[in-house]
Amino acid sequence: MEEKETGQKVKLTSLELDALKEMGNIGTGNAATSLSKFINKNVDMNFPETKFVHVSKFSETVGGPEKMVVGIYLQISGEVHGEAMFLFPEKGAYELIDLILSKPLGTTKRMDDMDKSAFMELSNILTGSFLNALGNMLEAKILPSVPHVAADMAQTLLDFILIKISKCADTLLYVKTGVNVEGHKIDGEFTVLFDQDSLKKIISKMHDKYGLESPGA
């Protein structure tokens, strides 16, 4: 099974992957409800793909290393450590800002301070819903930092995050996400990069809570 390969240090079984995927699905569903309340518009979110991706394949997954994106990234601390990032194509990000702030589509061409503030609040909702689902599943305290917004090439943003991870990290949890605001669909990518110790801790807690069998058991 191809998705089981997550680098040389940690491998996930199909049951472990299924448990993490279900957590991602719950987080995405909660995010749609919270975002709908925030902007007072009908919001649907779908998640056609959830998988683990080696960092060397990340830029290919999101459309190429030079693809221009707007990224929202934050640090994860508490009982697990890592970095979370939501990526939207540049055009889609500006359209999402227009929808959030009730501007005519096509108004936003670059982000001002108000746009960045709205986008950071969007990050709090989207990543907060995911991290709450993860924390509930693991019965663990997980704390997000203040989000940051940047527009750059996809590979540049990933390289920046990799530098910030103090321990070896080679695997991204990747959730392809579609945000539909009153019939206008915008595709994005949500990724979480855990350090190796945290990924092992997550797997251990899943085994304790759900009674998953260890490989070879």
DSSP 97-157: HHHHTTPPTT--SS--HHHHHHHHHHHHHHHHHHHHHHHHHHT--EEE---EEEEEEHHHH
Determine contact, residues 127/97, Cβ cutoff 8 Å. Answer: no
pLDDT at residue 108, rounded to an integer: 92
CA 76 to chain centre: 12
pLDDT at residue 169, rounded to an integer: 62
Mean pLDDT across 197-202: 82
* pLDDT over threshold 90, residue 107: yes
Mean pLDDT across 125-137: 82
* pLDDT over threshold 50, residue 216: no
What is d(CA 206, CA 117) in angstroms, rounded to the nearest whole number?
Answer: 35
All structural domains of the chain, each given as residue ranges with its CATH number in brackets, are 2-207 (3.40.1550.10)
pLDDT at residue 139, rounded to an integer: 83
20-73 pLDDT tens trace: 777 777 777 788 888 888 888 888 887 767 777 777 777 777 777 788 888 888
148 pLDDT band, cuts 50/70/90, is: confident
164-191 pLDDT tens trace: 654 456 777 777 778 888 888 888 888 8
pTM to 2 decimals? 0.76
Determine contact, residues 23/190, Cβ cutoff 8 Å. Answer: no
